[in-house]
Amino acid sequence: MGMTLFTIYLKNIPTLYITGMEMMANRFTVIYTSMKKKAYDPLDQRKAEYDSDYAEFKRSINELQVCIRTIHFMLLLDQTITAKC
């Protein structure tokens, strides 16, 4: 199972302390636990709950990834500007 850097980052996000990341860590925890707590019956093909829930989970994680990248870019930009001064 190949783990991407983002996957490793997401698993460790609740323990990271970066300015502006607390809200992202909380958001990830809510997204993850809401998906984890649902019980699905893999043998019941009539219910399409999993497909819609998984699509929502992926959409939420993608939005979170964009927010995290934006925060990192802003922090990097701030450090670059500070270093030039």
**Where do the structural domains in the chain lie, given as residue ranges?**
5-38+46-84
Look over the chain and give the mean of its residue pLDDT values, rounded to a whole number.
Answer: 76
Percentages of the chain per state (helix, strand, coil), in multiples of 5: 75, 0, 25
Would you place residue 9 in the very low, low, confident or very high pLDDT band (cuts 50, 70, 90)?
Answer: low
Cβ–Cβ < 8 Å for 19, 78: no
The pLDDT tens digits of the residues spanning 56-82 come to 999 999 999 998 888 878 877 776 554
Q: Residues with Cβ < 8 Å from 49, sequence gap 6 or more?
A: 38, 40
pTM of the model: 0.65
